[in-house]
Amino acid sequence: MSGADQVHWKHTWPSANVLAQFICINEHLFKNRNILEIGSGATGICGLTAAKLGANRVWLTDHPKIGKALECLQGNVYKNQVAENCVVTGLDWDDEESLRTVLNDIESLDLIIASDVFFDPSTFRGLVRTIADLLNRFPAAVVWFAYQERDDNWTCARLFEHYSLEATLIRKVETGQHTIEIGSIVKKSRCKMFAGIEGGATASKLVLTDKSGEKRIFSETNGTNYYLQGIESVGDQVATWIRKIAQENSIVLPLESLGMGLSGAEDEELNNKFKMYLKMHHGDIAKHFYLSSDAVCTVAANFSNQGMVLIAGTGSSCRMLLKNGEVKGAGGWGHMIGDGCSAFWIANRAMRILFDHDDGLEPSPHSVETIRKLLCQHFKIADKIGILDYLYKKFEKHRIAGFTKTLAEHASDPAIAQLFDDAGHMIAKHVRAVCRGLEPGDLENVDIVLVGSVFKSWSLLRNGFKNELQNAGIRKLTIYSPSEEPSIGAAVIGAREAGIEIEHAKNKIVKEIIEF
């Protein structure tokens, strides 16, 4: 049945509602964009939704011989008060002249949208050719389409291959009566791009890079911890973030891979659920997915073979990536269980020293008056009892951790100096635990990269750290300052899932070599 003989335009199909909801959820992708809707029918729900959400220009199209459909469509444009940024025009998929006429009116195009146009196989050749011609003219554009699953066995695979198109499933939506698939179509990309995310509880960093590692695009957003926010919430946040940055930088999705190093991502079962959620609901963003903790990705960013990362910021952890890809670790379980040597741990321990000394539970061998004075000044409290309000009712982990910087600035005080020496012992215990069970050859030299604000006070930690590792079986420690962002490490490991090695910096700065 030719396009002019179709009667489908008389109905609003479920796919249109689902795609319109997707447009609303991803409003920022459509705002200020030039958009062409294929097969708008009489209602043009998807195109009108984009127009109402602030699209710069929307072309609503259907077959030029279906005059009544175009007339109804124009009426809907006026009723929705979007005539200033909407154009209704005919487009015959089987007529190249018809397409040229439409293209003559379009200087730039960002998105092409379509709902349930993949319905009648007799129209597919013209439809796919039209999509290919549009993407040839505007190669950075993306097609978003919705399709209702039906009992048919057709495929467009050969047509897509012929026209060098790539289709990706984004998500499946169950309406209760129908299964609707949302997908994307793009020109096959000649430049493979990779993404890496370093995700913390309060802030996250994204990098997009090519195989050479030279082209890099950075972005930052809020925290991405699925323990705090939930798998679906973080998954949606990550996908929306990547789509936004890709669009802003004219990068065609899907990316070759997405590697993620997220805070708290230690549970393999939950990690697999998170990756599966992305594949099922946001399959357009990447072909391959990798997820591990932020610590593991830091190792990958700095060591191409084997190495360890010690993290001591607001929290703390120790992770070692072995040659065979296995990960060994200690700590990193949060302030309620450990986080030894973290800024929170040091600040909290200073408070404990003060309270225990005053209570007579454990008298300090050194005067605690400097700690008392600094505590009151830092938190603007009259006496130590005032800190209880910050530890309970007004508790904020990062706010307590901030006290450590003040303590470090007064490390000439004997009690504070001892506190940091104890912290050095504590973080070294993590190294001892992770190295236990390594082959003797692996203990000849252990590469460690230090990450986190606490290590700005390395000189205060060093003696305790070294003394704790005496007789640990380690012959030499080579300690580095990080050369790369953990997000780069995430991209590197993610690319390996696709069988590709990304070039990245190996010129780490040696901070110190400790021999035993």
65 lies in which domain range?
3-187
Contacts of 121 (CB under 8 A, 6+ apart): 152, 154
Backbone dihedral angles phi then psi of residue 88, each to the nearest 5 degrees = -100, 125
Indicate whether 379 belongs to any domain: yes
Domain final position from 127, 155, 187: 187
Same domain, 399 and 489: yes
Same domain, 274 and 374: no
Backbone dihedral angles phi then psi of residue 269, each to the nearest 5 degrees = -65, -45
Indicate whether 327 belongs to any domain: no
Same domain, 348 and 487: yes
Same domain, 490 and 465: yes
Domain final position from 251, 284, 303: 303
Residue where the block lists tokens 């190996």: 506
Indicate whether 320 belongs to any domain: no
Query: What is the number of domains present in the chain?
Result: 3
Same domain, 472 and 511: yes
Same domain, 174 and 206: no
Decide if 427 contacts 310 (C-beta within 8 A).
yes
Decide if 374 contacts 345 (C-beta within 8 A).
no
Strand (E) or helix (H) holding 454: none
Same domain, 295 and 414: no
Same domain, 159 and 182: yes
Supply the pLDDT for residue 27.
Answer: 87
Domain final position from 187, 210, 233: 187
Judged on CB neighbours under 10 Å (0-12, 13-18, 19+), 470 is exposed
- List alpha helices for 436-485, DSSP H: 458-468
Q: How many CA atoms lie within 13 A of 441 on its CB side?
A: 3
Same domain, 271 and 287: yes
Same domain, 182 and 198: no
Strand (E) or helix (H) holding 306: none
For residue 178, give both structure tokens.
């129908």
Decide if 473 contacts 504 (C-beta within 8 A).
no
Entry pTM: 0.67
| Mean pLDDT in consecutive groups of 10 residues from the start of the chain, 516 residues | 54 88 89 95 94 97 91 95 96 94 94 93 94 93 92 86 90 90 86 90 89 87 88 93 90 91 86 93 91 82 84 90 86 88 97 98 97 97 96 93 97 98 97 93 93 94 97 94 82 89 74 93
Indicate whether 334 belongs to any domain: no
Same domain, 444 and 428: yes
In the chain, the largest separation of any two C-alpha atoms, in whole Å, equals 94
Indicate whether 91 belongs to any domain: yes
Contacts of 170-178 with C-beta under 8 Å, sequence gap 24+, read: 170/144, 170/281, 170/282, 170/283, 170/284, 171/280, 171/281, 171/282, 171/283, 172/280, 172/281, 173/18, 175/14, 175/18, 177/14, 178/14, 178/148, 178/149
Indicate whether 333 belongs to any domain: no
Supply the pLDDT for residue 11.
Answer: 65
How far, CA to CA in Å, does 362 sit from each of 123, 284, 373, 375, 467? 83, 59, 20, 19, 24
Indicate whether 329 belongs to any domain: no
How far, CA to CA in Å, does 205 sit from each of 68, 435, 488? 51, 30, 10
Q: What would the 3-class secondary structure string for 186-221 be?
A: EECCCCCEEEEEEECCCEEEEEEEECCCCCEEEEEE
CATH number for 475: 3.30.420.40
How far, CA to CA in Å, does 28 sit from each of 244, 250, 323, 346, 462? 7, 15, 43, 43, 49
CATH number for 178: 3.40.50.150
Supply the pLDDT for residue 9.
Answer: 58
Same domain, 167 and 219: no
Indicate whether 413 belongs to any domain: yes
